[in-house]
Structure formats: structure tokens, C-alpha cells
């Protein structure tokens, strides 16, 4: 199933359960209802934002309340969401029992939404009419198990209604089967009523039947309904939700409306409570309800106990101790336990193949099932590496003594060899390193070539090591073209090795459209670390590869077709029309503030203590694949304990970074007189002489009435309105480049030499956070002091994170200006390399990687936006303005081309 907000979201059979946030629902959140009733939509938006930051992949919006104008409320709220990129990046579920409200929502929402819901309760004619309209709007649909007789409350009724609705939708409406989502009704359990004993079990079995008999259909439900009988006893409700989801997902449930704060990890549920809950859910005992209710009474008001350090595990066998150390990431005793195991088992290889791999298999299983989080996995890998490093001399000696011992590679058998590299021109490797650690934890031998690796080097090493898979990573957009080049070379040289594609700028669409069609071997896009293991195992297995790639290729063909259809439906204005519809600013009412200086200002050895105060911690957790917003993630029911451990580790390392001066912060900023010229260019001056031209790109897609085709140049005063002396009535623009990565390499090398990937990744992640914090701090000083257009600003750090300040700092290579080559102009203006030590690669990535650069725009009307797709007319015009060939422009603008 393909859904989208501003960003695409694809649900596949291999995907984890899709979490639909439930708090933007007036029937599910008293706070949200109050805000909507008060007309306080702006604050209500913060709830939607929290849902997305908290890990909701879709947000459910419901305005069904007797005292509300539901249609108006839905329209207003969805229109506001559409102007918030951090919210509308996820798909929307339009939730209402009133068709008029659903249709009002469909008229507002962008991307591909989900309608929740329609049913057969008013008969087939009405059902078909509504389904046709949903199909016309391009949305997916939830179908309730409800017909003219009533709501399905038995297994047979659920099967009967779902089958009938499916046949009508597929055969009469020709609705895409993959966009049909059934809700087979989750009813409360343990109510004391005999007829409710099968409520959960019937849902599980109905889900299994739907997945087996209604091809491509999905299953959803409102999970909190199941625990309705235990309102007020959150401890029991959380356990019921966790256990219910565990069994529902096993039976095929794809998504659900869930409050993550009322959800317990299945393995963490108290075993006594779990048995009682499962007795009810699975209808295993006649007295199940009575026993659970009795036990629940004793748990009212219970709080989660803090886990205290327990050394009891040290009393187990050496095999048990090694397994425990791996799962828990404990390194303190690893040398002595590994030596004890070597003496006991006789050979170092037996230690690796025995207790160490047994422990890592447990880690892999827990991570793959969502019961263990990435920071824990990386800590486990650290333990494994230290144990193997301890055994290395013994392995080498044994190898010399007996060349036929069957030892492979570094002294251990493995599931396969995987070569990984960040492609030429790109220097970002945190994501690649994390994937490498996860794969290594699952017994794959990883050959990591590092960053900025040429195509020739990648293919040469792949042949040399006879690898089973090649993995390419990249963060910046030029990396996409380099990956295409590698694929073409693999095809030319008759490679058959599977190719994995990953990294922040990569996508399934780009992989399917641009990469897979240039290489006849297997090509698979992997969007996060948890997916890498099943993909790798399927590709390496002779038995699994054929069926796996047949499914992938079928999916990619569908993606290519959808992309082709989407491109053909794009409607573009001519460039002249787009410019005519530029963002309107009444410059006669704009206050142009003269800065305290013009030219450049350099900062070295900037105080890291001051910078650290501006850190936004939410992206730090995201870099470890722990979705959620700080500080709420620290108390999250599922991830809170591990998030707190990770945060404490980060604080300890940050303290060392600052006190021991591991890193140096450097920056250069510049402020210059400037005016817009030629509609889309910005002229930069020094001493009334033009010294540079900044080129901007304009939104070109056709906009609804009242919306504008924006370019960054719209926010700088036109030269035609400032004919007087430049220092008089003209505008200004700023520029900056900064880094907190000076000195990082030596410390990363130190950690890697000690087999400590956890600390190496932690240091890189903290350096990145410090760089972003430094950018926030410098922008504040520019606004309040150096330029001074917002001298009276008084914002807290959380306000800065929400970008509630005046003005913007757009960066080349990002949505408002997707062209990385504008960095070249920025580098000349600021003399960046000389003043900061930051260099640019051939692909214009910054080194050190903990670096940020961009421009300062001071207009109070300025705002962030995405350019979206542009057509050949604008590309040709842009190339002419930049004095480059159209082919060169197309290379740098590849991701936004509409053709």
C-alpha cells in the first residue's frame, strides 16, 4: 500500500506494524476536543506535531462532536496542517461517521490519505457511491465490518461482511485491492458477559482469514477498545494492549489506532499478568475473566519499578554469562569470561560459534521483532567485537597450527560477506555504520570501505573479497547519480552481485526508476537498519532469492508505473506565469534594518558549553532509530528506559567532549547589501559593487487560488524598488558556514581501534547535534546583534526548535534551494576553507561532516518551503542564468526534475 503526505509511505508485508496516532481525535482526547471547541486550532496543531514526533506514521483526524461544525472544523484543521511541513509529511486518516465531513477532508488533504470509514450499513448503492468518490480522490479506505443488519460480532459475520464488501469494491467499483483496509471490529474483553468471551479471538481469526482469502487487503482496528473494561487501571490496560497487538500482528494485522503511551512491550509484561491476559484474549479458561479481574484489583495504582543493577547473572555458567553480557551490552567482564570459555570449550572458534553467536542470535531476534532498540544492538556489537578481538591471537595461532581448521575471514564462520561503502563525493557514514553493526550482529562479515569511495574501488574490492552483496550509502543528492553510475558499471562488467541501496536521500522510487533499470542483477532499497537483515538473508539464500526478487521486481514495476502516471498528471505553469504569481510583499511597509557590520566575521574556538545549550535532542534519538520527541521519549512506555540510558550516555560523553576539548567549533558569517534582480536572482554587493549572484529556483506547479509560486528571491527587496544608493534603501542578505567537527577523526579512530562502535557513533551523532546547535546560536546572534532586525526577540530553546523566529536560514541542497552548487558561491563569499577549515568534496559535501552552511534572510514574511518539481523550461532558464550547460543543471537538480 502506498500512502503519502509530503513524503511517501509504503506499507509492505515485510513492514513493521503501522502506528496511527489517535490524539487528534475529539472522541479520543479531551484536550484536543477542548482546543477545537475553543477555536484554538494553533495549539491543537501542537498535538498533531507531538503525534508525528512520537512516532505516528499516520495521524487520525476526527471532528465528530455534537456541538461542533464538524465540516468546518475538519476543513480548517487540515488546511492548517497543510502549511506545517513537519506535520503534513505523514499521511492523514480522515476519520468521521459523516460522509459530508469525510468529503470536506478529502478536498483539503494533500498526498494520499486514508478514509475512515465506509460500510454497507446503508446498503450497496450508497456504499458504491462513496467508494467511487474515494477512488476519484485517490485515497485508501477503511471498511467497517457493518452491514444493513448491524455490526459484525461473530467470526462468521465478520467473514461474510468483509467478503461481500471486498467483492463489491474490487469487481464493481474496480477499487485497488491494496488500498482496501478492513476493520473487523475490536470489542472489549473481560466484560463478564458470556457472549463477549470470543471478542479478541474472533478478531484474530477474522484477520487471518482476511489475509488468506482477500488478496492484498489490509487489516486495522482501534486497539484501545479491547481494554475498555479496565478503565482507570492503566497497568492492566497496557498489558492487554501489548498482548493483543502481539497476537493480532502474528495473525496479520497491518495497522491500528494506538496510543503508544498505553502500550507495553510483550516480553516486558509481568509473566503472571501476561498469562491471565492471554487466558482472556485466547479464551483458554472458563474462569479467565474472573481471575484477571481479581488480579487487576491488586494492581490498581501500581507504578513501574525501577530496574536495579543485579549481579546475580554472574553466578551462571560461562555460556550463560556471555549470552547475558551480549544481550545487555556489558563489557566489564568480557575478557575474563571469554578466556574461561576458551579454556572450557577447547578452541577459540567454539567460543565464537557457540555462546557468542548464541547471544547475538538472541539480539538479532529481539531487534527484528521490535523488542530491542538500536542503541542496545550497537552496545551488543561492541561486546562481540571485544570478545573476538581477545580471541584473535589464539585464532591466528591455531590457524598457523592447522590450516584446515575451517576458519573463515577473521576467524569465524559467517552468514555471508557484505561490502559497504559511502559513494564517491559523500562523507556521511553514521547510517551505514549502524546498518553494518546490525548485520554483523547477525553473523555477516562486513567489509566497510569507508566514505568517498570511487566506483572502481568498490567493484575492485567486491571482486577481491568475493562478496555476496554490495551496499551503497549516501546522504546528499549528488550521491544518487553516483549510485546510478555504479549500477551501470556493474552491468557493463557483468556483475551478478545483489546491490543494496540506502541513505537519507535515497528512496524506493529513485531505486526503482533510476537504479534498478540500469542493472540486471538484484537491486533492493533498504530504508532502515532493521530491514537489512531479512533482505540480506533473502538475497544470499539460493532458495529464497528467486521468490523474494520476483516480489521486489513486481513492486518496483508498480512503483515505476505509478511514478509515470504521477508525472503525467503534474500541472505546471509557464515560468512567466509562476513569476507573476510570486509571493507578494508590500516593500513600502517592510522595515529594512541596517546591520551592525557588513562583510565577514570569523569565530574560532567558540565555547562548546554555550553551544550545547542550544541542542535539539529529538533528532539525536532519531539518528539511533528511536522515534519520538525529547523529552517525552524518556518517559515513553515502550522506549523510555532505553532512551534514558542512551541520553545519559550522551550526556556523559558530551561532558568529556567539552571538558577535554575533543572538538573545536569554528564559524564564519557574512552580511552584505543585496537586491533581487531578474525575478529569481539575488545580487550581492560590496562597496556598491556587485560581487556575487545567488540563483534561486521557483515553485512551478499550479497552485490553488490564494497560494503562491515562491522562490527565495521573493523575500529580498527588488533592485527596481531600490534605485538609490545601495546603503540607503536596499536590502541585505547573510551567509554562514560553521563546524563543530574539527578534531573528531582522532577520537573516532581511537574508539574504532578499541572495537567500540557505540562510542564512535555516539561521538559523530553528538558532533552533528552540536553543529546544528551552533547554527541555531549563530542565527540568534545575527538576528539580535549582528544584523539586529529582531533585537527584542525573547525566545526559549523550544521556540527556536519550532522555528518561531523572524527570518530563515535556507541551505543549498535543501528543499527551498535544492542546488548544491550554490555552495560554491557561498564558499567564495565567506572564504570558508581559509576561515573554518571546512572543505567541499567533488559532490559538494562538507568535510568535516559535522558542519552546516546556508544563507540568512531577514524579511518577516520569509518562510521555509519546498520547491517541488520543475519542468524543462525552468531548468533551461536556470542553466542560462548560472552559465552552465543544461545537462550540468539537470545533474544537480535531478531529484526535482519532472521529466
Q: With contact defined as beta carbons under 8 Å apart, do 617 and 810 qualify? A: no
Q: With contact defined as beta carbons under 8 Å apart, do 472 and 483 qualify? A: yes
Task: Identify the three-state secondary structure at position 400.
Answer: helix
Q: With contact defined as beta carbons under 8 Å apart, do 825 and 692 qualify? A: yes
Distance, in Å, from the CA atom of 307 to the CA atom of 330, rounded to the nearest integer, reads 15
Burial class (CB in 10 A: 0-12, 13-18, 19+), 541: middle
Q: With contact defined as beta carbons under 8 Å apart, do 472 and 496 qualify? A: no
Cα distances from 50 to residues 41, 110, 306, 798, in angstroms, run: 14, 20, 26, 13
Cell of 62: 476526527
Q: How many CB atoms lie within 10 A of CB 475?
A: 21
Report DSSP letters for 817-878, one per residue. Answer: B--TTHHHHHHHHHTHHHHH--EE-TT--EESSSEEEEEEB--TT--------B-HHHHHHH
Cell of 739: 563546524
Distance, in Å, from the CA atom of 98 to the CA atom of 96, rounded to the nearest integer, reads 5
Q: CB under 8 Å to 114, separation ≥6 — which residues?
A: 3, 58, 91, 92, 93, 94, 139, 140, 141, 142, 181
Q: With contact defined as beta carbons under 8 Å apart, do 322 and 383 qualify? A: no
Q: How many CB atoms lie within 10 A of CB 483?
A: 29
Among 283, 280, 278, which Cα is nearest to 266's?
278
DSSP letter (8 states) at residue 415: S
Report the phi/psi class of residue 411: left, alpha or beta, with left for phi > 0 and alpha for psi in -120 to 50.
left
Helix axes 374-401, 334-345, angle to 10 degrees: 40
Among 878, 802, 741, 855, which Cα is nearest to 84's?
802
Among 808, 798, 752, which Cα is nearest to 775's?
808
Determine whether 70 is an active site residue: no
- List the catalytic residue out of 119, 323, 479, 759: 479
Q: What is the CA radius of gyration of the chain?
A: 29
- Range list of H helices, 155-287: 155-167, 199-213, 234-251, 271-281
- List the catalytic residue out of 235, 324, 428, 820: 428
Determine whether 426 is an active site residue: yes
Determine whether 286 is an active site residue: no
Q: With contact defined as beta carbons under 8 Å apart, do 741 and 769 qualify? A: no
- List the catalytic residue out of 426, 481, 714, 756: 426
Positions marked active-site: 426, 428, 479
Amino acid at each position: 500500500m502506498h500512502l503519502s503526505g509530503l513524503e511517501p509511505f509504503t506499507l509492505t508485508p515485510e513492514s513493521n506494524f503501522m502506528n496511527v496516532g489517535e490524539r487528534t481525535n475529539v472522541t479520543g482526547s479531551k484536550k484536543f476536543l477542548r482546543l477545537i471547541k475553543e477555536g484554538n486550532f494553533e495549539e491543537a496543531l501542537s498535538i498533531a506535531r507531538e503525534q508525528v514526533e512520537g512516532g505516528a506514521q499516520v495521524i487520525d483526524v476526527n471532528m465528530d462532536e455534537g456541538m461542533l461544525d464538524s465540516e468546518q472544523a475538519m476543513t480548517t484543521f487540515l488546511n492548517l496542517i497543510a502549511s506545517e511541513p513537519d506535520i503534513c509529511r505523514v499521511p492523514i486518516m480522515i476519520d468521521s461517521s459523516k460522509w459530508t465531513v469525510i468529503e470536506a477532508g478529502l478536498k483539503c488533504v494533500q498526498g494520499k490519505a486514508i478514509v475512515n470509514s465506509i460500510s454497507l450499513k446503508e446498503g450497496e448503492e450508497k456504499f458504491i457511491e462513496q467508494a467511487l468518490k474515494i477512488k476519484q480522490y485517490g485515497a485508501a479506505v477503511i471498511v467497517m465490518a457493518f452491514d444493513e443488519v448491524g455490526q459484525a460480532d461473530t467470526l462468521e459475520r465478520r467473514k461474510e461482511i468483509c467478503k461481500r464488501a471486498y467483492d463489491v469494491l474490487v469487481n464493481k467499483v474496480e477499487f485497488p485491492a491494496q488500498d482496501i483496509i478492513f476493520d473487523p471490529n475490536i470489542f472489549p474483553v473481560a466484560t463478564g458477559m458470556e457472549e463477549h468471551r470470543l471478542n479478541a479471538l474472533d478478531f484474530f481469526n477474522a484477520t487471518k482469514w482476511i489475509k488468506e482469502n482477500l488478496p492484498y487487503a489490509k487489516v486495522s482496528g482501534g486497539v484501545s477498545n479491547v481494554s475498555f473494561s479496565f478503565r482507570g487501571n492503566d497497568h492492566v490496560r497496557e498489558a492487554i494492549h501489548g498482548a493483543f497487538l502481539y497476537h493480532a500482528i502474528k495473525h496479520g494485522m497491518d495497522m491500528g489506532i494506538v496510543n503508544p503511551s498505553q502500550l507495553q512491550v510483550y516480553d516486558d509484561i509481568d509473566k503472571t499478568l501476561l498469562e491471565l491476559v492471554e487466558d482472556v484474549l485466547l479464551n483458554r479458561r472458563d474462569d479467565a475473566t474472573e481471575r484477571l479481574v481479581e488480579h487487576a484489583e491488586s494492581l490498581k495504582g501500581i507504578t513501574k519499578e525501577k530496574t536495579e543493577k543485579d549481579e546475580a547473572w554472574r553466578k551462571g555458567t560461562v555460556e550463560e554469562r556471555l549470552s547475558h553480557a551480549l544481550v545487555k551490552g556489558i563489557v566489564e567482564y568480557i575478557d575474563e569470561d571469554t578466556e574461561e570459555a576458551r579454556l572450557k570449550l577447547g578452541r577459540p572458534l567454539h567460543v565464537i560459534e557457540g555462546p557468542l553467536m548464541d547471544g547475538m542470535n538472541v539480539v538479532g531476534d529481539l531487534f527484528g521483532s521490535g523488542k530491542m532498540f538500536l542503541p542496545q544492538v550497537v552496545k551488543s556489537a561492541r561486546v562481540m567485537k571485544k570478545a573476538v578481538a581477545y580471541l584473535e591471537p589464539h585464532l591466528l595461532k591455531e590457524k598457523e597450527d592447522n590450516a584446515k581448521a575451517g576458519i573463515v575471514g577473521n576467524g569465524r564462520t559467517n552468514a555471508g560477506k557484505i561490502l559497504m561503502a559511502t559513494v564517491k563525493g559523500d562523507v556521511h557514514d553514521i547510517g551505514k555504520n549502524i546498518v553494518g553493526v546490525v548485520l554483523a550482529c547477525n553473523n555477516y562479515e562486513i567489509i566497510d570501505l569507508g566514505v568517498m569511495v570511487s566506483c572502481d574501488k568498490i567493484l575492485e574490492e567486491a571482486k577481491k573479497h568475493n562478496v555476496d552483496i554490495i551496499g551503497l550509502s549516501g546522504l546528499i543528492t549528488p550521491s544518487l547519480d553516483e549510485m546510478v553510475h555504479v549500477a551501470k558499471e556493474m552491468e557493463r562488467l557483468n556483475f551478478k552481485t545483489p546491490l543494496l541501496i540506502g541513505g537519507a536521500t535515497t528512496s524506493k522510487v529513485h531505486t526503482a526508476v533510476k537504479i534498478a533499470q540500469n542493472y540486471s542483477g538484484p537491486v533492493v532499497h533498504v530504508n532502515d537498519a532493521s530491514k537489512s537483515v531479512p533482505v540480506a538473508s533473502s538475497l544470499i539464500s539460493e532458495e529464497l532469492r528467486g521468490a523474494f526478487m520476483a516480489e521486489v521486481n513486481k513492486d518496483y514495476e508498480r512503483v515505476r508505473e505509478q511514478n509515470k502516471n504521477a508525472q503525467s498528471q503534474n500541472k505546471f505553469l509557464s515560468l512567466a506565469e509562476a513569476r507573476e504569481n510570486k509571493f507578494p510583499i508590500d516593500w513600502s511597509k517592510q522595515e529594512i534594518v541596517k546591520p551592525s557590520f557588513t562583510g565577514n566575521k570569523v569565530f574560532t574556538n567558540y565555547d562548546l558549553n554555550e553551544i550545547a545549550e542550544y541542542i535539539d535532542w529529538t533528532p539525536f534519538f532519531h539518528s539511533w532509530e528511536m522515534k519520538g520527541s525529547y523529552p517525552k521519549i524518556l518517559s515513553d512506555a515502550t522506549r523510555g528506559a532505553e532512551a534514558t540510558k542512551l541520553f545519559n550516555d550522551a550526556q556523559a560523553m558530551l561532558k568529556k567532549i567539552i571538558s577535554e576539548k575533543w572538538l573545536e567549533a569554528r564559524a564564519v558569517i557574512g552580511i552584505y547589501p543585496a537586491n533581487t534582480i531578474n525575478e529569481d536572482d539575488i545580487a550581492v554587493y560590496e562597496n556598491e559593487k556587485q560581487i556575487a549572484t545567488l540563483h534561486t529556483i521557483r515553485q512551478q506547479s499550479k497552485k490553488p487560488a490564494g497560494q503562491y509560486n515562491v522562490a527565495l528571491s521573493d523575500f529580498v527587496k527588488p533592485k527596481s524598488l531600490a534605485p538609490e544608493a545601495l546603503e540607503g534603501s536596499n536590502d541585505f542578505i547573510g551567509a554562514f558556514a560553521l563546524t563543530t567537527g574539527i578534531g573528531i577523526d582522532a577520537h573516532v579512530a581511537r574508539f574504532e581501534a578499541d572495537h567500540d562502535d557505540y562510542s564512535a557513533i555516539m561521538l559523530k551523532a553528538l558532533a552533528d547535534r552540536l553543529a546544528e546547535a551552533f547554527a541555531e546560536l549563530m542565527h540568534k546572534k545575527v538576528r539580535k546583534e549582528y544584523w539586529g532586525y529582531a533585537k527584542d526577540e525573547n525566545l526559549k530553546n523550544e521556540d527556536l526548535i519550532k522555528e518561531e523566529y523572524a527570518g530563515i536560514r535556507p541551505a543549498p541542497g535543501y528543499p527551498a534551494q535544492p542546488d548544491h552548487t550554490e555552495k560554491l558561491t557561498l564558499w567564495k563569499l565567506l572564504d570558508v576553507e581559509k576561515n573554518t577549515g571546512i572543505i567541499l568534496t567533488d559532490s559538494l559535501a562538507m568535510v568535516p561532516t559535522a558542519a552546516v552552511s546556508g544563507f540568512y534572510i531577514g524579511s518577516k514574511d520569509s518562510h521555509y518551503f519546498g520547491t517541488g518539481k520543475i519542468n524543462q523550461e525552468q531548468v533551461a532558464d536556470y542553466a542560462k542564468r548560472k552559465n552552465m550547460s543544461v545537462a550540468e543543471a539537470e545533474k544537480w537538480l535531478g531529484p526535482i526534475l519532472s521529466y
